[in-house]
Copies of this chain bind each other. A is one copy, B any other.
Amino acid sequence: MNLFYAAYGFSLCLGLLCVLFVSVWSSYWRGGFAWDGSFLQFNWHPVLMVSGLVVLYGSAAIVFRVPSTWKHRKYIWKLVHGGLMFLALLLSVLGLCAVFDFHKAFYIPDLYSVHSWVGLMTVVIFSFQWVLGLAGFLFPCTPLWFRSTIKPFHMWLGKAILILSLTSCISGINEKLLLTLNGSTGELYSSLPAEAKFVNFLGVLIVTFGMVIFGILSYKKWQRPETNEAVHPLLNDIRP
């Protein structure tokens, strides 16, 4: 149990560091934020994607693992899980809007890089997963056979989305540094200026966060004990 809280605390610290680092990158090195189609609007893209698609998503994925939640009704934590995931999805969609608006203003084609293909694939699959999760686990009228059938699929797809998120974020960070540092700033990425070191380290933080979240999800002993799985999702585990 202590080991769980150590891992959980570590994941929270890493998540906060990721948000801090990506915000400092956008505000200190890239000039801050705006929503006007300029480079400053683009700066929302990494911040929203890292915060939503990686940190909030990863944190929402492990809420059922926290032992102090096991004494509450499970459906409360399903609502928390679904709510946090909705927020993660919202931030991700806003992050996409930021980059599409920026592209439009600068006549840059959309969706040409493998980063953008995998990134869009991530958000589309995430949207599908959220709707499926809502239909399968929160709608009162959902048949139980449907719920039990999709549960392993939901758990697998949840992990797969996190993998896609990590892949999208690292390839996106790499793309941004290659285009920016080798372009307008005059500082080559290959000369590893301070910004490059800082943001490369952000990349290491992001993948480490992902690995810790996978560790927490993988360790069977940390799973919430199953109770009354046969009854309805909104009624099971009716301890007060």
Contacts and interface: CB of A to CB of B under 8 A. Distances in A.
A50 interface: no
A232 to B, nearest CB: 23
B170 A207 contact: no
Given A112-B189, A114-B170, A159 B200 contact: no
Chain A's interface size range is 35 or more
Contact of A166 (B163, B175, B203): B163
Interface stretch (A12-20, A83-91, A213-221): A213-221
A5 interface: no
Interface stretch (A27-35, A60-68, A115-123, A130-138): A115-123
Interface of A: 108-109, 112-115, 117-118, 121, 152, 155-156, 159-160, 163-164, 166-168, 170-171, 173-175, 177-179, 189-192, 196, 199-200, 202-204, 207, 210-211, 214-215, 218-220
Contacts of A112: 189-192, 196
Given A114-B200, A115-B171, 17 more contacts: A112-B189, A113-B200, A114-B202, A115-B170, A115-B174, A118-B170, A118-B203, A121-B204, A152-B218, A156-B219, A163-B207, A167-B167, A167-B207, A170-B170, A171-B171, A171-B173, A178-B179
Given A114-B203, A167-B166, A171-B171, A159 B214 contact: yes
Nearest to A159: B214
